[in-house]
Amino acid sequence: MNVIAAVNVEALVIFTIVLSATLVITYWASKRMTGADAFWAAGRSITGFQNGLAISGDYLSAASFLGIAGLIFIFGFDGFLYSVGFLVAFLTVMFLLAERMRNAGKYTIADVLSFRLRERPARVAAAMGTLTVAAFYLIAQMVGAGVLIQALVGIDFSIAVVITGACMLCYVIFGGMLATTWVQIIKAVLLMTGILVMSIFVLERVGFNPIELFNRAEANTTDESTFSLGPGTFLSSPIDTVSLGIALVLGTAGLPHILMRFFTVPDSRAARSSVVWAIFIIGGFYVLTTFIGFGARALLGEGGVAAAGTGGNLAAPNLAQFLGGGEGTFGGDLFLAVIAAVAFATILAVVAGLVLSASGAVAHDLWSNVIRKGRESEHEEVLVARIAAAAIGAIAIVIAIIGGSGLNVSFMVGLAFAVAASANFPALLLALTWRRFNTAGAVTGVLFGVVSSIALVIISPKVWPGPDAEGGALSFYDLANPGIVSIPMGFIGCWLGTMLSKEHGNERQFAELHVRSETGLGAEKGGALEREREPELVAR
């Protein structure tokens, strides 16, 4: 069907335009690259609205766009459950972390932990949490990019992965956070425009009556369909649904590339307003996704399921082609190409954010503060960050190519959220709020969180199926999503480590962290780019 064997010319042209635009931005940003503040925090000069767009661009991965539209197309309501979790998560971020992170941190999650805990163990633990999350998420996105580009443009999987990786590295290495931010902003604008236009096309077919859309979607099923307007088709085990829901709502507050975005704004007020902008953009996006998903079901029907590929990932592009006039027409091919380019931009923006946060963990946390113990220059730190980014990117490219399209993307994204919710979130929250918390608590908490979520996934039926097809090898454990066990494990780890160690005496630092995180007194100053010697280069 739509899985084109030859190279799709329209798609190639539009891809090239998008790529060129992002590379021009990278060049512009590289001229403003003045130091570590510029590299990791865009000089703290991004406004609240810009950051809201950039958070949306950083957050809405291909799994959100193609994945959720595809899940709704194939399974119906259950796909929408993901959207709700992904969105409500921003309340957790806003109420518990956004402003405190901005006030207390500098470039990484570890900055906040090491503020009051013993520097080296705290940084190692935080870097471990960050790198684990970034690794799973990054590889998932790279595989997704390869599969998509292969299907939509006709370029071979391995080459597609290399192109994606090369662009991502270009943004990060030469343009740092400034280039990454603007790539994310452009992507958010493209994505919102694309999905809005598509939704209008879909709604136009049903006389702008969404209820008619649901009815037609429901009518367009056969006996073999898994589609339903109610829950329980994709997430068939209730306890698994709950476990996934909790991991989604707490996991976002532990995603390093999202938390890092709060360091790019001038103050906590901008951090706060950027979350609200993000809530409105992301919320609007997820409502529109339902029109795409249910629209694909209503218009493409059961016949479109095979063409939509694994997990229905190609449902949205196929729907675009249908809306444009169908396969083989100019309108159809053009709309398909545009949506494919939007999906590509989506992936680029997310992977750039991930590599940047991972480079922070390696260069700022492990290299500068653990290995060199803060004796090195800022210049060296940025150099190491660039080398680290190149290495991380190269490893991700190689793993994505070796793992190939067989790696399950949504499974790895789910794992990333589980680790983020179980390892990063408890340690961060307790460091900011619990006076008694100490270094041993943070280290055991992160360890418990990482180990329990990965171990539980390994023994889950998805990875380690039992002799019979039903259930896993371990009859007592059949959760696919570890959150409901691993998140409490993370908190228990923090508590146990704290209580069992005799370490005390960071009361004074807690007082400073407490005052600083709540009021912004002594926080990193904003608008660093504006203090540069060349006033005409002020980033606007």
- Residues between 234 and 273 that touch another protein (CB under 8 A): 235, 237-242, 245-246, 249, 266-267, 269, 272-273
Residues 468 to 507 in contact with another protein, rule: CB under 8 A:
507
Q: Rg of the chain's alpha carbons, rounded to an integer?
A: 23
Task: Tell me: does residue 90 bind another protein (CB under 8 A).
Answer: yes
Look up residue 152 and give its amino acid: L
Task: Tell me: does residue 95 bind another protein (CB under 8 A).
Answer: yes
Residue from 145, 401, 526, 529 in contact with another protein (CB under 8 A): 526
Task: Tell me: does residue 434 bind another protein (CB under 8 A).
Answer: no
Task: Tell me: does residue 232 bind another protein (CB under 8 A).
Answer: yes
Look up residue 529 and give its amino acid: L
Report the nearest approach of another protein to the CB of residue 11 (Å).
33
In angstroms, the CA 53 to CA 262 distance is: 12
C-alpha angle 107-523-367 in degrees, rounded to nearest 5: 30
Question: Which of these segments, 276-284, 313-321, 355-363, 458-466, binds another protein (CB under 8 A)?
Answer: 276-284
Question: Which of these segments, 226-234, 388-396, 404-412, 491-499, binds another protein (CB under 8 A)?
Answer: 226-234
Residues 54 to 83 in contact with another protein, rule: CB under 8 A:
77-78, 80-81, 83
How far the first Cα of the chain sits from its last, in Å, is 46
Residue from 11, 134, 279, 352 in contact with another protein (CB under 8 A): 279
Number of shown-chain residues binding another protein (CB under 8 A): 73
Q: Which is nearest to 137 in space by CA: 256, 22, 250, 51?
A: 256
Q: Which two tokens stand for residue 280?
A: 């409105």
**Residue with Cβ nearer another protein (229 or 463):** 229
In angstroms, the CA 323 to CA 315 distance is: 12
Report the nearest approach of another protein to the CB of residue 325 (Å).
27
- Count Cβ atoms within 10 A of the Cβ of residue 326 and give its class: 0-12 exposed, 13-18 middle, 19 or more buried: exposed
Task: Tell me: does residue 221 bind another protein (CB under 8 A).
Answer: no
In angstroms, the CA 202 to CA 349 distance is: 27
Task: Tell me: does residue 88 bind another protein (CB under 8 A).
Answer: yes
Task: Tell me: does residue 121 bind another protein (CB under 8 A).
Answer: no
- Contact yes or no for 72/293 (Cβ under 8 A): yes
In angstroms, the CA 341 to CA 325 distance is: 18
Residue from 32, 116, 187, 297 in contact with another protein (CB under 8 A): 116
Question: Which of these segments, 59-67, 209-217, 337-345, 443-451, binds another protein (CB under 8 A)?
Answer: 209-217
Task: Tell me: does residue 208 bind another protein (CB under 8 A).
Answer: no
In angstroms, the CA 390 to CA 165 distance is: 10
Q: Which is nearest to 452 in space by CA: 490, 416, 420, 421?
A: 490
Task: Tell me: does residue 211 bind another protein (CB under 8 A).
Answer: yes
Rounded to 5, what percent of the chain is helix, strand, coil? 75, 0, 20
Residue from 18, 148, 152, 275 in contact with another protein (CB under 8 A): 275
In angstroms, the CA 121 to CA 119 distance is: 6
Look up residue 522 and give its amino acid: G
Report the nearest approach of another protein to the CB of residue 267 (Å).
6
Residue from 4, 197, 203, 229 in contact with another protein (CB under 8 A): 229
Q: Which two tokens stand for residue 167?
A: 């662009």
Report the nearest approach of another protein to the CB of residue 475 (Å).
21
Question: Which of these segments, 57-65, 232-240, 404-412, 457-465, binds another protein (CB under 8 A)?
Answer: 232-240
**Residue with Cβ nearer another protein (91 or 189):** 91
Residue from 214, 411, 434, 477 in contact with another protein (CB under 8 A): 214
**Residue with Cβ nearer another protein (193 or 236):** 236
Task: Tell me: does residue 458 bind another protein (CB under 8 A).
Answer: no
Residues 286 to 315 in contact with another protein, rule: CB under 8 A:
286-287, 290
- Contact yes or no for 416/130 (Cβ under 8 A): no
- Contact yes or no for 27/188 (Cβ under 8 A): no
Task: Tell me: does residue 508 bind another protein (CB under 8 A).
Answer: yes
Torsion angle defined by CA atoms of residues 285, 146, 172 and 86, in that order, rounded to the nearest 10 degrees: 30
Residue from 160, 177, 178, 217 in contact with another protein (CB under 8 A): 217
The string of DSSP codes covering 460-497 is STTTSB-SSSSSBSSTT---S-THHHHHHHHHHHHHHH
